[in-house]
Amino acid sequence: MAGVFLTFVFLYALLWLIERKKGDIDGFLVAVVAIVPAILSFLIGLTGFLGYPMLSAFAALGALVVATYLCLWKILGLSGRRSAAYTAAVLAFNVVLQMGTLALTDS
């Protein structure tokens, strides 16, 4: 659950810091774009309790990438390259977050 919240905060802060110069982007739209992929990733990640935690983690990560890209591209109206760059940043953040979680639980 903390990972979902951190993903939301990371994407919201990233968009707010870089895209706030545009006059047509408001805070509510940025919040919608940031929360939709996080909730979708969380819901798919819940299936890990059914017995396949690694498979659900990869599925949740894939859904996060696709949902982030589509939300940035369609809802926020960013270009494809800019959406891909933000999606890559969110993916890298989540991979580091998952590796840190695994390292903490492994020791």
* 10, part of any domain: yes
Encoding tokens for residue 6? 């951190």
| pLDDT tens-digit series, residues 4-46 | 888 889 998 888 888 877 766 767 788 888 888 888 888 887 8
State the residue range of the domain holding 47.
2-14+29-106
CA torsion 12→105→102→90, rounded to 10°? Answer: 0
**Domain count of the fold of the chain:** 1
| pLDDT tens-digit series, residues 49-105 | 777 777 887 888 888 899 999 999 998 888 999 999 999 999 999 888 888 776 777
* 22, part of any domain: no
* 19, part of any domain: no
* 60, part of any domain: yes
* 51, part of any domain: yes
* 23, part of any domain: no
* 21, part of any domain: no
* 52, part of any domain: yes
